[in-house]
Structure 1
């Protein structure tokens, strides 16, 4: 009687579980909450927020410049004239309005 060597059921079950765990952890490393795709999303969002921060900082710098130019220490008469005309809607007698 000749017996062929068959792997034990425990060995097959061990490798099946090890393979399933390997697939699960690989999927989690790529698709999970802390995976590669999430990392790419976070990097893109950080870049977008950095761009928005730069735009807001530019707006703040412009507003600080205008505020300084209208302050008591440094008064820009041309800017004051422009702002009063804009707010009050007034013109000088020598100006022509084209609509």
Structure 2
């Protein structure tokens, strides 16, 4: 959505997400899962090593937080963002990365 000059208010509601192609639903679903399926052991290894993009484990990323990350980045004018589960996790990410 950031290619166009949307207002801040519009970005707050729509950035980082497109309507579901099957249902047309606009709201972001909340994925209450902790684990994801992999096509192979190699794919799982690549994702856990963070060399392959995709969901691994909800504490790292999931479809819901991916939308939040994209939305915050759009609102702040950045290229990406990271959401974490706690302030301690944020401090750890900031220091170790």
Q: Which of the five TM-score ranges fits, normalised by the shorter chain?
A: under 0.3
Q: From the CA coordinates, give the structure whose radius of gyration is larger.
A: 1
Q: TM-score, normalised by structure 2?
A: 0.21
Task: Work out which structure has the larger RCO, using CA pairs closer than 8 Å and 6 or more positions apart in sequence.
Answer: 2
Question: Scaled by the length of structure 1, what TM-score is found?
Answer: 0.21
